[in-house]
Chains A and B, each alone.
Chain A
Amino acid sequence: MSDASLTKFRSAREETPLARYALIAVAVLGLGVLVAAPLIAVFVEALAQGWLAAVASLGNHDAASAIKLTLLIAGVSVPLNAAFGIAAAWFITKFDFRGKAFLITLIDLPFSVSPVVAGLCIVLMFGTNSLVGGWLVASGYPIVFALPGIVLATMFVTFPFVARELIPVMIEQGRAEEEAALTLGASGWRTFWTVTLPNIRWALLYGVLLCNARAMGEFGAVAVVSGKIRGQTATMPITIEMLYNEYLSVAAFSMAAVLTLLALVTLMLKTALEIRHADALAATHRH
C-alpha cells in the first residue's frame, strides 16, 4: 500500500511519460527532417549514377581547382581570424577603455550585414573603378575577381566567430590569473602563452571550427567578389551552384558531398579532441 502511495509522487522536474515521449518524438522528427534527411539526400544524389560517375565528376581540372581554392582560402583566413579574434577578445576583456561597447558592436557587424552587401563593399573599395583598386590593378595586384578579394570577403564574414566564443569565457575567468603571473615575474608574453592561452584553448578550438566551417561554405560574399571564373576563382560552393544550374546534378551533388565530408571531418576532429582531453576539460570547468 505504501508503495502505491509513493509512486503517486513524481520529482518536480519529471514530466508524465506521455509528455516525455511526445517531446522526444518532436526532437527526433525535427532533427530528422531538418538535419539528417538533407544530409542523406546529398549523398544519395551524388551516388545516383554510381561511385565511378561521382568520382569522375570530381576528377576534372575545374573541380580540383575549386577544392584546392576552398582549402587555401580556409587555410589563410582561419589562422588570421584566430589571431585577430584572440587579440580583440584580449583587448576587450582585459582592459577598460572608452568605446568598448562600440567595439563589440563593430565585431558583431559581419553577423548582421548581409554577406552580399559585404561583398559589394569590397568591390566598391578595391574594384577597378576605385582609387585604391585602380592603382592595385595597375601595379599588377588585383584584389577583386582574384584570390585576395575572396580571402578578404571570407575573413569579413567569419570575423566574429573566434572573438564571440572567447569574450564570454575570458570575462568569466577574469584577470586575476594573469595578474598573479605578472606578480610572479612573468612577462606579458609569457603570461599569454602559459596562462591565458591554456585557459581559453577549448573556446578557441570551437571558435576556429565554426570559423572554418563558415569559411569553407561561404557563398554570398564570395559570389560577388570572385567573378565566378571557372578553374580560377570559383570556390566549392560557387562551383556547386554553377553545376546545379547547368543540370549537372551528379557533379553538383558530388562536390556538395565533399564539402559536407570536410565539415563532418572537422566535427569528428572536435569530438576526438574532447574525448581525449575529457579530464582536462572537466578540471577547467569544475571550479
Chain B
Amino acid sequence: MHIEIDEISKQFGTTAALTPVSLAIPSGALVALLGPSGSGKTTLLRILGGLEFPTSGRVLFDGQDATGLTVQERRAGFVFQSYALFRHMTVFENIAYGLNARPRASRPPKAEIARRVTKLLELIQLPDIGSRYPSQLSGGQRQRVALARALAIEPRMLLLDEPFGALDAKVRKELRQGLRDIHDETGLTTVFVTHDQDEAMELADLVVVMSGSVTGGRIEQIGKPSDIRARPASAFVRDFIGA
C-alpha cells in the first residue's frame, strides 16, 4: 500500500513533537525512520497506526484520505517496542487474538484460525512454542511472536517501533535478516523506527533521517542508504550517520 504523509504536525499540550513533515512511501517499500530520541519518529509511526491523531495535516493510504480512520480501521500490523504481548495468554492465543476479535460475520472458523496460527509460527521459525506463555520466551522469541501476531490480521502495512531495541547484538543481526525475509515474502509496506544508523542503512530500501529541536521533530533527508551516505543533505545528517 502506498502511504503519503502530507504536512503532518503534532503538539502534546504545549510541546511540539512534530513540525509539519511530508513523506511519500512507495508501495512495498521497507522504510526506516532514523533519528535520535526526541526527533518525533515514534510519534510519526503512531500517527500512521492510528494510535495518535495529528494536530494538522493528512495521511493518505493509496490516495484515499485516512486521517480520520480509527486504529481498528487502519488495519496496521503494529509491533511495539517492548512487544506488548498479552501476558496472560499463550503464544497461540496471542497470535489468534486479532482473528478472534473480528466481528462474527468475518471471523474465520476455529480450525481455520488454528491453521493460520500454525502457519505463522512456521513463518517465524518457532513452530513448537504455541502453548507457552510470553514470560517463558527469550527476547528474540518474543519479538518474533509480536511480529506473527501483527501479521495474523492480514495487515495493510507493517509498523515496527524499535523492533530490535531490547535485544543483544547477535540476536539483533539474525532478526534483521528475519524481518527482511518476511518483508520480501509478504510484500507489505513496512515502516520501522530506529536510532541505530547501521540497522537503518543495512535493512531499509529508504531511510528517513529525522532530527529534534524545540520546535518539534523534522525530516532532514529522505533517500536510499547509499545516497544518504554519499551525499548527506545537512551537517546534522553527516554527523548522525558518522559519514
Report A's interface with B, CB cutoff 8 A: 176-177, 179-187, 190, 194-195, 198-199, 280, 283-284, 286-287
Contact = CB atoms under 8 A, between A and B. Distances in A.
A243 to B, nearest CB: 47
Nearest to B106: A185
A190 B150 CA distance: 18
B76 A183 contact: yes
Interface string B115-136: 0000000000000000001110
Contacts of A179: 51, 71, 78, 80, 84
Contact of A195 (B49, B71, B86, B153): B86
Given A177-B86, A179-B80, 5 more contacts: A179-B84, A182-B51, A184-B97, A185-B72, A283-B135
Nearest 8 pairs between A and B by C-beta? Answer: A184-B98, A176-B84, A183-B78, A186-B101, A180-B84, A198-B88, A182-B71, A185-B101
Interface in B157-212: none
Contacts of A184: 97-98, 101, 149-150, 152-153
B229 interface: no
B87 interface: yes
5 contacts: A177-B84, A183-B51, A183-B77, A186-B98, A284-B135
A131 to B, nearest CB: 41
B78 A180 contact: yes
A179 B75 CA distance: 13
Contacts of A180: 78, 80, 84-86, 149
A180 B152 CA distance: 13
Nearest to A285: B135
Interface residues of B, number: 29
Nearest to B155: A183
Interface in B38-62: 49-51
A81 B82 CA distance: 33
Given A182-B51, A184-B153, A284 B75 contact: no
A280 B153 CA distance: 27
Contacts of A195: 86
A153 B86 CA distance: 39
B135 A185 contact: no
SS class, residues of chain A in contact with chain B:
helix
B133 A283 contact: yes
Contacts of B149: 180, 184
Nearest to B81: A176
Contacts of B102: 185
Contacts of B86: 177, 180-181, 194-195
A36 B10 CA distance: 60
A199 B98 contact: no
A284 B88 contact: yes
Contacts of A283: 87-88, 133, 135
A186 B97 contact: yes
B88 A181 contact: no
Given A283-B87, A283-B133, A283-B135, A183 B82 contact: no
Given A184-B101, A184-B153, A185-B153, A286 B88 contact: no
Contacts of B85: 177, 180
A181 B80 contact: no
A33 B80 CA distance: 52
A177 B153 CA distance: 16
Given A180-B80, A182-B71, A185-B72, A199 B87 contact: yes
Nearest to A180: B84
B82 A199 contact: no
Contacts of B134: 287
B88 to A, nearest CB: 5
**Residue from the set B72, B77, B87 with the largest chain A CB neighbour count within 10 Å:** B87
A195 B85 CA distance: 10
B72 A177 contact: no
Contacts of A194: 86, 97, 101
A286 B135 contact: yes
A216 to B, nearest CB: 31
